[in-house]
Amino acid sequence: MGEISFIGLPEETHHCTSYRDGDWIVWRCPHCERYERRYNGRTGEMKIARGGSEARHTGMSTQVQNMQALTRIQSLN
């Protein structure tokens, strides 16, 4: 499976990692300590805790995308 890319995203977009928590898919940002987005696939409910972050965030729920996000943050350190 190849790299997933979104054309037109600003360079400063943060790429989130994800995990499952019961019915919820949870995305967290490796840059923004308190940013969290949750989606309940059963009910369609979405919750976002920005944690003071004004950055744009993106993320999917795949192992490949999680590794891509972690690789991006590692290259910044």
In the chain, where are the structural domains located? Answer: 14-76
Strand partners, 48: 37
CA distance 4 to 58: 11
Q: Which of 19, 31, 28 is nearest to 61 (CA)?
A: 19
Q: What is the pLDDT of residues 52-70, one digit of tens each?
A: 888 888 776 666 555 555 5
Amino acid at 32: C
Q: What is the pLDDT of residues 8-29, one digit of tens each?
A: 656 678 888 888 888 888 999 8
H/E run at residue 71 = helix 63-76
**pTM: predicted TM-score of the whole model, two decimal places:** 0.64
Phi (first) and psi of residue 59, to 5 degrees: 175, 150
